[in-house]
């Protein structure tokens, strides 16, 4: 009996299709970030929208209002994401973006075109905010634990490629007639939206979301299709039960939406601290000045360095090539170097790059000012390799399963809120304080270093249940969570239960959950007993020498939930180590 199919695909080809659609969503995200940079000061655009000509405040407003729409979309998913579902959320978001594009390109001169453009950008932003809140979760829940970090880093990396496409499309369109100069780059986004909407109509829903709504028959079919199993096979049933166990242990089984108050709990799970860690990463990304460079690179060159519009566009395109090249490096170093070191290296590199930039602009001489270009190029290289993907990866890892969806939505809201602030104020800062703008960003990046060093625990090569133990260890032993991460050895599957019991994560439910963990453990052991021949031994209750070792409920393998379906504890652990 063949596995069930979606779009005529199953197994690895289906997983690759899911990844391709998810990546397209972030490609569109990157394109949106870069498209206005090349047209906001174009003569043809200023002729159509005269309010933007030589008006830094209006240029900032027209560009940044998009972020307000993105914030609204992310806030909507914070409230309705668990109810709407991953698949319908992505389709709805992309459809709203399509409507926003049509509104923008349909503007007519002498018919209040600026107001229509602003409305279109807000509408499009709402759709993008929905997608950036949903796509990483959907991708993670349909992926194996072994490639979770890589896939989310790839999503972050393709933001750079989307921006690259936007910059060079802007440059090519600048040689065309007036309408082509700005209408075509905006209209081009339709292609990305269509490539998201139509495949998503035929792709499966997240199996974790289906099981959280107790739609087990549909979830069984999705698990079998994505993993390439026969429907109803022992492997598919086992993986389905791993998800159910995890959902029950977190209080999420049959609970259609996690209450917001769960984000503010402390204790051994440290929900609030972990939400702050993920959100602060998004905050630091924005106030570090990334979008000041990405959105306004041509303007920075025109205003600060004195190049003409054509040369500014050309240099902007070259800068985006550098950006894209370095964005791919994170794919190969994120597990080897680790999150903390990448954060620290990126912060230091970005700060020094901004020092180079403002130092070359102080005396106001044209030849010296050209040296500022070096600073902007090195800044975008450091950013692409480190701070571009990490703030999307870190919240997904550091937050526990119970609050992961809502905590990720909060971090996305923080991203868009401060994205708006920076994009709004950058042209005003350039006009009023000149090189002081770059001094400001140099100082803010330097301030990140002590915060990261003292408060960000390392999550590389850790399964999600190990990260839970890190925070429980820090709370129980009254030590910093960075130290707890360093002291906790990398655990084998049979060791995790002992450590989890030692720090109070197994044996009793959390204060806000009525879950009977013992019952779950019994249920899971029954499954393991029935299918041990096919799946291998998954627990070992006879180990000695581990803290708290003995018979009892098994710790929930969150790695299985993050992948959307259980990979099997042993398989997950081998992949993570």
Tell me the per-residue pLDDT of 251-279, one tens digit each, with 9 for 90 and over.
556 566 677 888 888 888 898 999 999 99
- Report the pLDDT value the prediction gives residue 567, as an integer from 0 to 100: 38
| pLDDT band, residue 520 (cuts 50/70/90) | very low
Supply the DSSP string of 32-93, one letter for each residue. Answer: HHHHTTTTTT-HHHHHHSGGGTT-HHHHHHHHHHHHHHHHHHHHHHHHHHHHH-HHHHHHHH
pTM: 0.75
Domain match, 401 and 473 both = no
- Report the pLDDT value the prediction gives residue 462, as an integer from 0 to 100: 82
Position 542 pLDDT exceeds 50: no
Among 224, 257, 290, give the residue marking a domain's end. Answer: 257
Q: Is 462 helix (H, G, I), strand (E, B) or coil?
A: coil
N-to-C CA span, the chain = 34
DSSP-H helix ranges across 456-516: 464-476, 481-487, 493-502
Domain match, 245 and 270 both = no
- Report the pLDDT value the prediction gives residue 306, as an integer from 0 to 100: 63
Domain match, 313 and 441 both = yes
Domain match, 353 and 472 both = no
Q: Average the pLDDT over each of 80-89, 183-192, 254-263 and give the range with the smallest value.
A: 254-263
List the one residue out of 165, 182, 53 whose CA is nearest residue 117.
182
Among 257, 278, 300, give the residue marking a domain's end. Answer: 257
Domain match, 208 and 350 both = no
Q: Is 552 helix (H, G, I), strand (E, B) or coil?
A: coil
| pLDDT band, residue 557 (cuts 50/70/90) | very low
Q: Please, what's the b/e burial string for 165-186 (b: 16 or more CB within 10 A of its CB; e: otherwise)?
A: bbbbbbbebbeeeeeebbbbbb
Do the Cβ atoms of 263 and 270 come closer than 8 Å?
no
Position 61 pLDDT exceeds 90: no
Mean pLDDT of the chain: 80
Residue 167 lies in a domain: yes
Q: How far apart are CA 100 and CA 108, in angstroms?
A: 15
Domain match, 231 and 283 both = no
- Report the pLDDT value the prediction gives residue 494, as an integer from 0 to 100: 63
- Report the pLDDT value the prediction gives residue 537, as an integer from 0 to 100: 39
How confident is the model over 194-245, as pLDDT tens digits? 999 999 999 999 888 888 888 888 988 998 898 888 888 887 887 777 677 6
Domain hosting 190: range is: 9-257
- Collect all residues with Cβ–Cβ distance below 8 Å to 504 and sequence separation of at least 6: 268, 472, 476
Position 509 pLDDT exceeds 50: no
Residue 534 lies in a domain: no
Q: What is the CATH number of the domain that holds 341?
A: 1.20.1250.20
Domain match, 451 and 468 both = no
Residue 526 lies in a domain: no
Domain match, 485 and 374 both = no
Residue 100 lies in a domain: yes
Q: How far apart are CA 107 and CA 41, in angstroms?
A: 18
Domain match, 195 and 233 both = yes
Residue 269 lies in a domain: yes
Q: How far apart are CA 282 and CA 419, in angstroms?
A: 9
Domain match, 71 and 168 both = yes
Domain match, 308 and 444 both = yes
Mean pLDDT of 522-545: 39
Among 239, 257, 275, give the residue marking a domain's end. Answer: 257
Domain match, 33 and 149 both = yes
Mean pLDDT of 304-328: 79
Pairwise pLDDT comparison (306 vs 502), residue with the higher score? 502
Residue 567 lies in a domain: no
Structurally, the chain folds into a number of domains equal to: 3
């Amino acid at each position: 009996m063949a596995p069930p199919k979606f779009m005529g695909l199953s197994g690895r080809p289906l997983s690759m299709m899911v990844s391709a659609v998810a990546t397209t969503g972030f490609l569109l995200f990157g394109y949106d970030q870069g498209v206005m940079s090349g047209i906001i000061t174009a003569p043809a655009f200023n002729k159509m929208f005269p309010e933007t000509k030589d008006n830094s405040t209006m240029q900032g407003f027209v560009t940044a209002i998009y972020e307000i729409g993105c914030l609204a979309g992310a806030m909507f998913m914070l409230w309705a994401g668990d109810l709407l579902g991953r698949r319908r959320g992505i389709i709805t978001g992309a459809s709203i973006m399509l409507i926003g594009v049509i509104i923008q390109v349909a503007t007519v001169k002498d018919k209040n075109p600026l107001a229509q453009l602003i409305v279109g950008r807000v509408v499009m932003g709402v759709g993008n905010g929905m997608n950036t809140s949903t796509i990483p979760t959907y991708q993670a829940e349909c992926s194996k634990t072994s490639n979770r970090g890589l896939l989310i880093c790839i999503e972050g990396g393709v933001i750079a490629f989307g921006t690259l496409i936007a910059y060079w499309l802007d440059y090519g369109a600048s040689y065309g007639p007036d309408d082509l100069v700005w209408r075509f780059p905006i209209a081009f986004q339709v292609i990305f939206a269509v490539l998201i909407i139509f495949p998503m109509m035929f792709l499966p829903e997240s199996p974790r979301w289906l099981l959280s709504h107790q739609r087990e028959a549909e979830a069984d079919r999705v698990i079998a299709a994505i993993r390439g199993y026969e429907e109803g096979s022992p492997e598919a049933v086992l993986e389905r039960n791993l998800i159910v166990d995890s959902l029950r242990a977190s209080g999420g089984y049959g609970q259609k939406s996690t209450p917001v108050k769960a984000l503010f709990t402390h204790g051994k799970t440290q929900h609030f601290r972990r939400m702050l860690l993920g959100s602060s990463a998004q905050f630091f990304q924005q106030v570090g000045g990334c979008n000041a460079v990405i959105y306004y690179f041509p303007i920075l060159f025109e205003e600060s360095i004195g190049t003409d519009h054509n040369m500014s566009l050309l240099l902007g395109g070259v800068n985006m090539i550098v950006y894209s090249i370095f964005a791919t490096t994170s794919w190969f170093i994120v597990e080897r170097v680790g999150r903390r070191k990448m954060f620290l290296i990126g912060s230091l590199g970005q700060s020094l790059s901004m020092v180079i930039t403002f130092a070359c602009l102080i005396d106001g001489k044209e030849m010296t000012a050209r040296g500022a270009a070096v600073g902007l190029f090195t800044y975008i290289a450091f950013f692409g390799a480190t701070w571009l993907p990490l703030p999307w990866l870190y919240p997904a890892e550091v937050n526990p399963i119970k609050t992961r969806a809502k905590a990720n939505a909060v971090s996305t809201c923080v991203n868009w809120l401060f994205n708006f602030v920076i994009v709004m104020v950058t042209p005003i800062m350039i006009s009023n304080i000149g090189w002081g703008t770059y001094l400001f960003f140099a100082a803010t990046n330097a301030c990140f270093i002590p915060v990261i060093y003292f408060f960000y625990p390392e999550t590389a090569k850790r399964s999600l249940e190990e990260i839970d133990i890190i925070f429980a260890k820090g709370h129980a032993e009254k030590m910093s969570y960075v130290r707890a991460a360093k002291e906790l050895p990398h655990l084998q599957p049979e060791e995790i239960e002992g450590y989890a019991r030692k720090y109070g994560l197994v044996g009793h439910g959390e204060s806000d959950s009525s879950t009977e963990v013992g019952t779950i453990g019994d249920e899971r052991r029954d499954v393991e007993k029935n299918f041990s021949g096919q799946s291998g031994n998954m627990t070992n209750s006879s180990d000695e020498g581990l803290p708290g070792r003995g018979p009892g409920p098994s710790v929930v393998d969150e790695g299985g939930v993050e992948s959307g379906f259980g990979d099997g504890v042993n398989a997950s652990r081998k992949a993570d180590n």
